C-alpha cells in the first residue's frame, strides 16, 4: 500500500516534470534558437542592421548570423587581449568608437578596420604594432574579417561598457 502510494507519487511527479519541460521548451526555445542572447540583448540585433563601411559614409547591412560569426571569431582570436573591447596589454588604446575614430589613420569603419587587421599599426600609424595580431588572408577570408569588423563596430556602438579603460 505504502509502496504503491510512493510509486504513484513519483510517477505523477515525473509526468508533471516532463510536461513542464516540454511546455517550457515550447515557450523559450524559439526565442533562444533565433539569436544569440548577447547579439540580441546587447547589440540589439534581430533583423539586419547597417554598419558604416568606409569614410565616404556608405553602409553595409549585417544580419544576426553575420554578427554571430563575427563574435565567435572575436572570442577565439582577439578576446584574450581585447576582452569587452578593452586592450589589456595597452589599455590606452581600446576598441571604443572614440578611440578607433581618433587613431591615425581612423579605424571606425569596416574597410579601415580590415586594413588594420591585415597590417596592425601603432596608434599614431608610425610603425607596425608588435603586440596586436596580424590577420593574413590565408588565415581569415574577406567575408570572415568583414563579419569580425561588423561585430566590433556594432559592439562599439551599442554594448554598454565596451572599450572601457576603467578596470
Ligand atoms: C596579444 C594581444 C592582442 C591580440 C591577440 C589582438 N590584439 Fe589588437 N591590439 C593589441 C594591442 C596591444 C593594441 C594597441 C596597439 C599597440 O600597442 O601596438 C591593439 C590594437 C588593436 C586595434 C586598434 C584600436 C584603436 O583604438 O586604434 C584594433 C582594431 C585591434 N587591435 C583589433 C584586433 C583584432 C580584430 C584582433 C583579433 C583578430 C586582435 N586585435 C588581437 C593587442 C592584441
* Model pLDDT for residues 60-82, shown as the tens digit of each residue: 999 999 999 999 999 999 999 99
Mean pLDDT calculated for residue range 131-145? 98
Ligand 1, atom 36, lies closest to the CA of 78
Mean pLDDT calculated for residue range 12-20? 66
pLDDT at 154 over 60: yes
Average pLDDT value for the chain? 90
The cell for 14 is: 515525473
∠160-142-59 over CA atoms, to 5°? 55
Ligand 1 atom with the shortest distance to the CA of 80: 5
Say how far apart CA 18 and CA 10 lie, in whole Å. Answer: 12
Mean pLDDT calculated for residue range 23-32? 55
Say how far apart CA 126 and CA 15 lie, in whole Å. Answer: 68
Whether ligand 1 lies within 6 angstroms of the CB of 131 is answered as: yes
Position 12 confidence tier, pLDDT thresholds 50, 70, 90: confident
Position 35 confidence tier, pLDDT thresholds 50, 70, 90: confident
What is the pLDDT, as a whole number, of residue 166?
Answer: 81
pLDDT at 15 over 90: no
Say how far apart CA 107 and CA 95 lie, in whole Å. Answer: 9
Ligand 1 atom with the shortest distance to the CA of 116: 29
The cell for 51 is: 554598419
Amino acid at each position: 500500500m505504502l509502496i504503491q502510494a510512493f510509486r504513484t507519487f513519483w510517477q505523477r511527479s515525473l509526468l508533471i516534470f516532463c510536461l513542464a519541460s516540454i511546455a517550457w521548451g515550447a515557450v523559450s526555445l524559439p526565442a533562444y534558437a533565433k539569436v544569440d542572447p548577447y547579439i540580441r540583448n546587447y547589440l540589439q540585433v534581430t533583423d539586419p542592421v547597417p554598419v558604416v563601411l568606409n569614410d565616404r559614409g556608405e553602409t553595409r547591412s549585417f544580419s544576426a548570423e553575420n554578427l554571430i560569426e563575427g563574435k565567435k571569431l572575436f572570442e577565439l582570436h582577439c578576446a584574450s587581449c581585447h576582452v569587452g573591447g578593452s586592450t589589456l596589454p595597452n589599455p590606452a588604446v581600446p576598441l571604443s568608437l572614440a578611440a578607433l575614430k581618433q587613431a591615425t589613420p581612423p579605424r571606425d569603419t569596416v574597410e579601415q578596420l580590415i586594413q588594420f587587421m591585415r597590417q596592425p599599426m601603432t596608434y599614431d600609424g608610425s610603425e607596425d604594432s608588435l603586440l596586436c595580431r596580424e590577420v593574413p588572408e590565408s588565415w581569415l577570408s574577406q567575408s570572415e574579417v568583414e563579419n569580425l569588423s561588423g561585430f566590433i563596430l556594432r559592439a562599439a556602438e551599442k554594448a554598454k561598457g565596451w572599450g572601457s579603460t576603467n578596470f
